[in-house]
Structure 1
């Protein structure tokens, strides 16, 4: 889907700027150009589509249904399963997260998607089967879905909506106001379009600085942090290898397909599979660029709580993997 963006980034970096392949600067710049264009397009598309949805479906009705009806955790499971079929990295998942929040979806349900989406997708599953076999893949997929479901449920029970930024609250208020106008005046889609587009543009303008900073950080990490830098901390005889692997993964930034071959190398060097998978989950599900993007919609306290809960779940998963496999 995004091949043309990669071709454009390659052409710009290697031909126009005449930078050599494999250099730190060229890899960082290539990554920055590719991810910036991709994520901005995703943001614009998803925010616009959510604006269309919000203009026709009452936000309060969706919110009330998901918060008042006893679905016995199925809403978190459904969000996690939806995350499985969306092949995005953590930063690419943020646009959908913003769309869900602006659509009135409960925060815990939205978190369940945000956690699962970068961890488990068809590309990662295909690579996992080839690298580690079907048994390990099944356990990984189930654990990834459970991780999103359980963490989302925990985060919802903490009632963290008060830690959303004023910007998000303003977006929600504007969405409700626009919807009231649409419903009262019975406007056609053509009449609604300028308002929807204006709101989507305003949201995008508010997010762009955080997107640029977040991706720039990711690009620097992608280009300058050597892949084998953290291996010394994941030794088999280190009781704290799993939490250290998870925490040390945060400065890294990659998607599941990019980090899986690294995990295979770690396992081949004698690092326990659970420790390697915890490292992989940390790289994919927790990253500084993601935190920068989330800073626009969450306060620092909420980001810290979110990262803390997900980190704890990943560490538990890592230890379980080492016991089972």
Structure 2
């Protein structure tokens, strides 16, 4: 009986998300082809508030795979971007994306979707601005070329410049340099091979965990979490901060929490803090930006998520809206929803089992390389 309930919950979550995820991936692939990587470094290379705002806004819809965020941020930092711009980009990009925004609307409706997008921008901008204020980059004095011999100067000017790749690791294999013609095939390959391949495993486990939470959370635990918002927030934060979960894969888990009686604010805390950070990103931020930036990074995410979670609960309290009623889990799925769920699960099962049928590439599973 419990197994039947589990698979019913799993199917309901799948049909609610699938069509939006597939459409979001399609749009993400097209956007990836249309937006050159050079634009990123051009607009984020200044040490001011404007660069923080631009990096935040640019990071919201950017179709960058989760394993490609870190090398891209590293490239941005090396190109001369401030610590604040780099940090705001690191926060805003993983929290939301085109596929995640569409899937959020599919499950939670427009209130949750707008609230999630706006608050993630605010958290990222606050973190970036605080970093620029309290952890400024050390000024690098430009070398004087007046004393350089003419012969050396001539050699330097005539030598071909070595083009720096936009990727610092094999997890991002998109060059993105120079002008190129739009290719629909390349867009689809990025969307349904590179991007979906990257999120396939966390999305797979996210769906399973979401269904499990829906049917397995004890009633007494739900009552405790419902009666004490602060306790539920602290528990969720303790789980979400070190856990690796992408923005899309966090949705079914949050839906499972809400359907089990946990407040919308606590579910939002997971949606915000879960994708924004994990143990790997924490280590990279410390190494790339330093301990002070890391403290601002974690503090902004934790405090921002909790404050906006409380704000969301307050909105639902004063409007007398039942948050669980906003979750769109249809009893009878439409034809498009059913086909989309079947297609999505086909992709997920393929990427999960692919390493067992193909030789592993230099990029480990090969899901991050096009």
Instruction: Tell me the TM-score normalised to structure 1 length.
Output: 0.59
1:116 aligns with 2:96: no
Describe how 1:1-325 pairs up with structure 2 within 5 A. Answer: 66-67=46-47, 73-88=49-64, 91-161=67-137, 184-188=156-160, 192-193=162-163, 196=164, 204=169, 228=213, 232=221, 235-240=225-230, 241-325=232-316
Q: Is the Cα contact below 8 Å between 2:44 and 2:51 reproduced in 1?
A: no
Deviation per CA, 1:86-133, whole angstroms, max 9, x where unpaired? 134655321121111101111111111111101111111101111111
Select the structure that is richer in helix: 1
Q: Return the alpha-carbon distance in structure 1 between the equivalents of residues 113 and 240 of structure 2.
A: 21
Deviation per CA, 1:37-64, whole angstroms, max 9, x where unpaired? xxxxxxxxxxxx989998xx8xxx985x
Cα distance change on mapping 1:92 and 1:273 into 2, 3 Å: farther
The Cα of 1:75 is off from its aligned counterpart by: 2.8
Q: Return the alpha-carbon distance in structure 2 between the equivalents of residues 75 and 89 of structure 1.
A: 22
Cα distance change on mapping 1:302 and 1:146 into 2, 3 Å: closer
The Cα of 1:74 is off from its aligned counterpart by: 3.5
Q: Is the Cα contact below 8 Å between 1:251 and 1:288 reproduced in 2?
A: yes
Q: Is the Cα contact below 8 Å between 2:130 and 2:296 reproduced in 1?
A: no
Q: Return the alpha-carbon distance in structure 2 between the equivalents of residues 295 and 150 of structure 1.
A: 18
Instruction: Tell me the TM-score normalised to structure 2 length.
Output: 0.53
Q: Is the Cα contact below 8 Å between 1:89 and 1:256 reproduced in 2?
A: no
Q: Return the alpha-carbon distance in structure 2 between the equivalents of residues 259 and 62 of structure 1.
A: 28
Q: Is the Cα contact below 8 Å between 1:76 and 1:153 reproduced in 2?
A: yes
CA RMSD of aligned residues (A): 4.1
SS at 2:242 equivalent: coil
Cα distance change on mapping 1:267 and 1:157 into 2, 3 Å: same
Q: Return the alpha-carbon distance in structure 2 between the equivalents of residues 116 and 283 of structure 1.
A: 12
Cα distance change on mapping 1:144 and 1:182 into 2, 3 Å: farther
Q: Is the Cα contact below 8 Å between 1:87 and 1:118 reproduced in 2?
A: no
Gaps of 5+ in 1: 1-48, 163-168, 174-179, 206-214
Q: Is the Cα contact below 8 Å between 1:242 and 1:278 reproduced in 2?
A: yes
Q: Is the Cα contact below 8 Å between 1:84 and 1:120 reproduced in 2?
A: yes
Give the corresponding residue for 1:165.
none
Cα distance change on mapping 1:140 and 1:323 into 2, 3 Å: same
SS at 2:227 equivalent: coil
Q: Is the Cα contact below 8 Å between 2:135 and 2:292 reproduced in 1?
A: no
Give the corresponding residue for 2:180.
none
Q: Is the Cα contact below 8 Å between 1:275 and 1:318 reproduced in 2?
A: yes
Q: Is the Cα contact below 8 Å between 2:229 and 2:266 reproduced in 1?
A: no
Of structures 1 and 2, the one scoring higher in RCO (CA 8 A, sep 6+) is 2
Q: Which structure has the bigger radius of gyration?
A: 2
